[in-house]
Amino acid sequence: MPNLLDDSNWLEFEKNHVWHPYAPLEGALPPYPVKNAQGVHLTLEDGRQLIDGMSSWWSVIHGYNHPVINAAAKAQLDEMSHVMFGGLTHRPAAELAARLITLTPEPLTRVFFCDSGSVSVEVAIKIAIQYWHSKGQPGKQRMLTIRRGYHGDTCGAMAVCDPETGMHHLFAEALPKHLFAEAPTVTKDAEWRDEDIADFRNLVKQNHSEIAAVILEPLVQGAGGMRFYAPEYLRQVRSLCDSYDVLLIADEIATGFGRTGTLFACEQAEIVPDIMCLGKAITGGYMSLAATLTTSEISQAISRNAPKAFMHGPTFMANPLACATANASIDLLLDSPWQERIARMSETFFEHLQPCQDWGGVADVRIKGGIGVLELEQPVDMPSITMRFVDKGVWVRPFGKLVYVMPPYIINDEELNSLLTAMTEAVAEELCI
């Protein structure tokens, strides 16, 4: 079949027929058409180049069109792009599992591959519930989490997102009812206050007989508000989970693979979850893949009790092409000076963003590793500020009151300074400063 759309009409067709995330099909700001991407630059159809400050929703850590990852993907294509994982296996999946087990803390030694971050959260929740069922405690069905969190857009994941300030309140009556503790507010261990954990402690104490697991984003609450909290909170949560016989799920989908300055955010609190969710940067942003890791104790309990299988099986689970790409991305990360790059990025964030704390209309400035956030007092005008960013040669995608950047790790000093200058200028113009 020949191309149904030509250069003169494909964008008009797209505008009328293709839905974009968190946007109306009609009346939305038209999306900017990308012709190609290279390094940290997106080239639009009209020839304009934009420095990408978002890493395509935090996943493209090595930049676009990287020759090492390209070569790995092409080599795998010559072997096989896909084969079902039911009853069959392949080396790229085993290699990826070995890498993940080596990089994550003991005793996370069992790996379940899935399609996306949201699905990895679904898998984690189902593992926790099935584990307790296999242990003769089928009443442990609920999750405990903290407010302001975000864990994905599928139904199970939506149910543990913030039910009031999150993006999924329209579906509240259709979702399971879980428990929500007040979000932590202390950001540094040196400023720790015991009252920060009090609400969480009370909920665990009162409801532990029906709680299967605690699920949270370690240290950084991402799409729920770009909020950071102290490692001590994680230590307290781990201790309470141990005391009250509750599993701990760490959603490292956004924080994994170096974004906060350590490979995984849990390392900064020196705690190990019972279940860990990984996604986003696992393939360097090349394609969708995720993984849920757990312990041999949990996997054995599920495998040795009826139905003697974990009841989940995505069609594209452990896709060979995605696994080969992930192996190349992980090796590329480990062979790079990523810690120095994140540290440099963080220092440059402070230089450019910290002065904005004194601006009228700016509520807070937050920086952690490769994440830089300006929280405004009022929501941004999305069409207006997006146009400002594009006119200044950068791609930044704010939401609500938050203007933030999470650039590819390979961004150089000149590109990073240009990105942050454009970011602060656009915000200043939006605030009429």
Reference 376, options 349, 356, 352, 394; nearest CA is: 356
Q: Which of 109, 134, 137, 106 lies closest to 245 in space, CA to CA?
A: 137
Structure tokens at 223: 């799409």
The answer to whether 233 is a known catalytic residue is: no
Which one of 115, 196, 251, 274 is the catalytic residue? 251
DSSP 33: P
Catalytic residue among 64, 131, 150, 233: 150
- How far, in Å, are 42, 95, 297, 406 from residue 20 at the CA level? 18, 35, 42, 21
| Active-site residue (options: 115, 131, 274, 280) | 280
- Let me know if 126 is a catalytic residue: no
Residue 404 annotated among the catalytic residues of the structure: no
| Residue tagged active-site, from 7, 22, 78, 308 | 22
Q: Which of 146, 204, 149 is nearest to 180 (CA)?
A: 146
Q: Is 135 exposed, middle or buried (0-12, 13-18, 19+ CB in 10 A)?
A: middle
DSSP output for 302-327: HHTSTT-S-S---TTTT-HHHHHHHH
The residue ranges of DSSP E strands in 284-383, in sequence order, are 290-295, 362-368, 371-376
Q: How far apart are CA 305 and CA 143, in angstroms?
A: 22
A 10 A CB-CB count for 71 gives 11
Catalytic: 150?
yes
Residue 294, by phi and psi: left (phi above 0), alpha (psi -120 to 50) or beta? Answer: beta
CA distances (Å), 383 to each of 380, 398, 410, 419, in order?
9, 10, 29, 19
By annotation, the residues acting in catalysis are 22, 150, 251, 280
